[in-house]
Chain A
Amino acid sequence: MMAEFGAFALMLGLAFAIAQLGLSVAARLRRSTVLAAAGEGAALASFASVAISFAILMHAFVVSDFSVANVAANSHTEKPLLYRVAGTWGSHEGSMLLWDLALTGYGAAMAIFGRGLPKGLKAVAVATQGALGTVFLAYTVFASNPLARLLQPPVEGRSLNPLLQDPALAVHPPFLYSGYVGMSVVFSLSVAALVEGKVDAAWARWVRPWALFAWSLLTVGIMLGSFWAYYELGWGGWWFWDPVENASFMPWLVATALLHSAIVTEKRGALSGWTVFLGLAAFSFSMLGAFLVRSGVLTSVHAFAVDPTRGVLLLFILGATTGAAFVLFAWRAPKLSQGGVFAPVSRESALVLNNILLAAATATVLLGTLFPLIREALTGEAISVGPPYFNLTFTPLMAALILILPIGPLLAWKRGDALGVAQRLWAAAGLAIVAGLLAYAVVSPRKALGALGLALGAWLIAGALAELVERTRAFRVPAAESWRRLTGLPRGAWGMTLAHIGLGVFVLGACFETGWRAEAAETLPLGGSLNVGAYHLALQGVRAVEGPNYDAERADILATRGGKLICRARPERRLYLANGQTTSEVAICDQGPSHLYIVLGERRTAAGQPVWLVRAYWNPWAVLIFLGPVTMALGGLLSLSDRRLRIGVPRRREAAA
């Protein structure tokens, strides 16, 4: 009965979403507060219904109810509890339900927290959110029911892919989806602004917290996926320009651009059309990602869709919502005000450049992901777009962005002082150049690009600190005064500094790891050893271990450096019994910010005795690659707690009124 009740709750959620749409539209047309409140109530009810449905699916996974098709296909009784719970969003149907949960959840949050919004704007935004909910819930109910029953339930489930049975990956989708779908609020507010025909500082300030929140979660979500790939896939790579990664990266790039252009709209009233455009684009890219990944267009390059019906349906949803939004934009945007003027050297210009480069970076990722499909469809000739393409296009764009980044915050609005900025940044620039030269000379003269990357990372961090020095007038006024200014800085300023430092940390880690990693692989008998970088690894033993749902061989490897014990590493090679798949559990020894990364490979036979393929990597500063995005996300959340976002903007009264 539970599953049927869950399916019913889902349909109820759809009905409430339709009611939310209808009531809110009526509220806007009749300017009725009663109808608006009813629409908001429907948003809450829709969320509650979907939450019940979601809880029931999760319950089915926890108790291994294999009469539910989705559970039978993706779970197993021997799976640990965490992965049975995570199995809820481990399939197409379950992840769509998670998407719906997030979508209705944001709708409910907007109804509750959007008190300061003007009534008309709020009604249209709630209606738009209801329209999105209607479309996606209808898709879930009619084309992807997560609670469908099996007529003959199997005794045992088919289990979740063992590579996915991992803590980081278990929590990866909730973060990612909260990020993706968080952009829907920005989308709804943008549609509402277009309908109302007014984009001003107050609007930008309402959009900002939602965008910040979604962006921060998306940052963490992408980082978790990357971290998982790093330690689970077993060769130390962390970003592959895989189409699926690109699908999550595009909304992130657009959201980053949006956060920056919204500042200009908020402070100067300029770029309002562009900010609205980005607001529509961010969620459009989220939906594009959902479509690309689910339709199977990308998982298999040659077949259009794993499930053509669903693929076409999702494409239709994407086309209809995005199309409608951009038609509205083309119709209404020309009426938006242009906003204040600014000089070529000004903070506005710097932020516009930031947006141009981020837009170009998004175009790069979009082209790299979709161009092979387009070209094959047009000419029938298949091409590959791999990492070398992105290294030649995306990387220079990012380098340019990083070069201008520290300059922007130091420029004044309207008309900046180039010379003054140069005076404030010469120390940071000097530091960056020295760091780059040092890296070039000391570590390895062959890695010129790596050294350049290090210089850019140092430039970002030093530049962010220079901005802090400027704000506190440090070294120019007494220390006590600087301290007072420092503690008095708004959290938004701290958030920006933290996020920019986080980017710098990431760049340092990425460049150092890519430029100076060392790799070694040998087949070792018991007692054999190999060297990687400055480390000596001795294979001391291999024994069989039994896990809850797998059998494994676990190696005992002693890592030393110059005779000093560094760590005992115990990498495993696992065989999952449910589906016969082997995976490897790498062993990672932390060495400060660096990783000694050890993988146990297959067992072979040489000269009549067993030998094991052991691979080891020295990944210098690898921790920074993941610490950077975490710092960025913390910066976003800190900025979210800024006072000006909590209390909102005072209503601007018309002069003549």
Chain B
Amino acid sequence: MRRAAVVAALAGVLCLAAAADPAERLADPVQEAHARAIFQDVRCLVCQNESIDDSEAPLAGDLRHVIREQVRAGRSDPQIKQYLTDRYGQFVLMRPSFDAGNLALWAGPFLVVALGVLLLIARLRNRQPDPDLSQAEADRVERLSRDGTP
């Protein structure tokens, strides 16, 4: 089942990790590593579900070029990401922002944990003693303790 979409996502894409292409690299290895780190957080807009670090689509190549230029010019991560979202919207970032609209997304999993733990605590506190024995069971206990016949 996964294959259909992965394939759709990657059809014709063989040179993945395209960002490693030596023809594109920055001369300074520190800056290059910095740029690569940013690439992984930027979505290739025309691809299915890839970062521009992986995609060889032309648009991804253009974005890598733009980001490398900005890294070389010494701009910070937030500045570069701001530049990207101004042009392409939140969609371009692989990590959704921490804002009110995404509250359910970020808080959801931890709410499930909190709810589960609360339920567990309630269950542990609300310990009912074993229900009283029915008459038949009480008789049986009586018989067992008297002469051992079940």
Chain A residues with CB under 8 Å of chain B are: 95, 161, 163-164, 169, 172-173, 176-177, 180, 225, 228-229, 233-237, 240, 242-245, 247-248, 289-290, 293, 298-300, 338, 341-344, 349, 352-353, 355-357, 359-361, 363-364, 367-368, 371, 375, 379, 381-389, 392-394, 397, 519-523, 573, 581-584, 601-602, 613, 615, 655-656
Contact of B147 with A by CB under 8 A? no
> Which residues from chain A contact B21 at a C-beta distance below 8 Å?
521, 613
30 A-B pairs (CB sep. < 8 Å) = A163-B7, A169-B3, A225-B3, A233-B6, A233-B10, A234-B16, A240-B49, A244-B5, A247-B1, A299-B9, A300-B48, A338-B128, A341-B130, A344-B124, A349-B124, A352-B123, A359-B116, A367-B108, A371-B104, A371-B105, A381-B89, A381-B90, A381-B101, A383-B91, A387-B94, A392-B95, A521-B17, A613-B21, A613-B22, A656-B140
Q: Which B22-52 residues have a C-beta within 8 angstroms of A?
A: 22-23, 40-41, 43, 48-49, 51
Q: Is the CB of A95 within 8 A of B1?
A: yes
Q: Is the CB of B17 within 8 A of A243?
A: no
Q: List 5 additional A-B contacts (Cβ < 8 Å) besides A521-B21, A581-B12.
A: A225-B2, A242-B9, A243-B49, A359-B112, A656-B140
> Which residues from chain A contact B7 at a C-beta distance below 8 Å?
161, 163-164
A601 to B14, CA, bound (A): 8
A388 to B102, CA, bound (A): 14
Q: Is the CB of A356 within 8 A of B117?
A: yes
> Which residues from chain A contact B93 at a C-beta distance below 8 Å?
383-384
> Which residues from chain B contact A298 at a C-beta distance below 8 Å?
5
Q: Is the CB of A243 within 8 A of B108?
A: no
* A386 interface neighbour in B49, B110, B123, Cβ under 8 Å: B49
> Which residues from chain B contact A656 at a C-beta distance below 8 Å?
134, 136-137, 140
Contact of B74 with A by CB under 8 A? no
Nearest chain B CB to A487 CB, angstrom units: 35
Contact of B11 with A by CB under 8 A? yes
A349 to B54, CA, bound (A): 43
Q: Is the CB of A397 within 8 A of B16?
A: no
Q: Is the CB of A176 within 8 A of B1?
A: yes
Contact of B8 with A by CB under 8 A? yes
Chain B residues with CB under 8 Å of chain A are: 1-12, 14-17, 20-23, 40-41, 43, 48-49, 51, 54, 89-97, 101-102, 104-106, 108-110, 112-113, 116-117, 120, 123-124, 127-128, 130, 134, 136-137, 140
Q: Is the CB of A299 within 8 A of B96?
A: no
Nearest chain B CB to A409 CB, angstrom units: 19
A234 to B10, CA, bound (A): 10
Nearest chain A CB to B135 CB, angstrom units: 9
Q: Which 4 A-B pairs rank lowest in CB-CB distance, beginning with the nearest?
A: A386-B94, A356-B116, A656-B136, A388-B95
> Which residues from chain A contact B124 at a C-beta distance below 8 Å?
342-344, 349
> Which residues from chain B contact A582 at a C-beta distance below 8 Å?
12, 14
Nearest chain B CB to A294 CB, angstrom units: 8
A522 to B136, CA, bound (A): 84
> Which residues from chain A contact B12 at a C-beta distance below 8 Å?
581-582
Nearest chain A CB to B86 CB, angstrom units: 14
Q: Is the CB of A523 within 8 A of B105?
A: no
Q: Is the CB of B4 within 8 A of A382?
A: no
Nearest A-chain residue to B109, judged by Cβ = A364
> Which residues from chain A contact B91 at a C-beta distance below 8 Å?
382-384
* B94 interface neighbour in A225, A242, A384, Cβ under 8 Å: A384
Nearest chain B CB to A325 CB, angstrom units: 21
Nearest chain B CB to A536 CB, angstrom units: 17
Instruction: Say yes or no: A289-B1 contact (C-beta < 8 A), given A355-B116, A521-B20.
Output: yes
Q: Is the CB of B15 within 8 A of A613?
A: yes
* B22 interface neighbour in A163, A341, A521, Cβ under 8 Å: A521
Q: Is the CB of A361 within 8 A of B120?
A: no
> Which residues from chain A contact B89 at a C-beta distance below 8 Å?
381-382
Instruction: Say yes or no: A388-B48 contact (C-beta < 8 A), given A225-B3, A233-B16.
Output: no
* B96 interface neighbour in A383, A521, A583, Cβ under 8 Å: A383
> Which residues from chain A contact B97 at a C-beta distance below 8 Å?
383
A289 to B51, CA, bound (A): 23
Nearest A-chain residue to B120, judged by Cβ = A352
Nearest chain A CB to B43 CB, angstrom units: 5
Nearest chain B CB to A20 CB, angstrom units: 26
Nearest chain B CB to A449 CB, angstrom units: 14
* B1 interface neighbour in A244, A371, A382, A394, Cβ under 8 Å: A244
